Structure 1
Amino acid sequence: MSPEIALTELRGGLVTVLWLAGPILLAVLVVGVVIGVIQAATQINEPTIAFIAKAVALTAVLFATGSMLLAHLVEYTTMLFQRIPHLIG
């Protein structure tokens, strides 16, 4: 396997990870910032509120985009398995 092929496959894996983790991390980040601003404005510094809100946002995003993310992961894995002979030889 040449270095170019290895870097191409590594890039494909990293792009797939970004596609899978991006919506989840973005939702949790937005909820965390909003809850942080609300807690700073009201001076209620309870860490449980932020945790519960992030957990609810995570669950909602997984319910909304879970099938799409899983389909993307299965597609990438199938394509990777199909390229194994090309990668080895």
Structure 2
Amino acid sequence: MSPELALTELRLALEVALMVAAPLLLTVLAVGVVVGVLQAATQINEPTIAFVAKAIALAAAMTITGGFLLGRLVDFTVALIQRIPAIVG
């Protein structure tokens, strides 16, 4: 395996990881900011409120985008397995 091929495979894996993680992380980030602003405005400093809101938002985002994300992972895995002869040989 050449270094260029290894870097290409690593880049593809990182792209898929970013595609899978981005919707979930952005959802949690947005909910965290909104809850943080509301807590600052109302002076309620209860950490469990933010945690529960983020957990519910993450579960909802996984429910909504789970099929798409799983499809991306399966497509990448199938393509990677099909490229094994080219990688090894």
Identity of aligned residues (%): 63
What does residue 59 of structure 2 align with? 59
TM-score (norm 2): 0.99
Give CA deviations for 1:49-77 in whole Å, capped at 9, x if unaligned: 00000001001100100000000000000
What does residue 71 of structure 1 align with? 71
Q: Which 4+ stretches in 1 moved above 2 angstroms? A: none
The within-5 A match list for 1:1-89 is 1-89=1-89
TM-score (norm 1): 0.99
Counterpart of 2:63, as a letter, is F
Give the aligned length. Answer: 89
Give CA deviations for 1:27-68 in whole Å, capped at 9, x if unaligned: 000000110010011100000000000001001100100000
Give the distance between the partners of 2:19 and 2:61, measured in 1 at CA: 13
Give the distance between the partners of 1:36 and 1:78, measured in 2 at CA: 41
Q: Which runs of 5+ in 2 are unaligned?
A: none
Give the distance between the partners of 2:8 and 2:43, measured in 1 at CA: 49
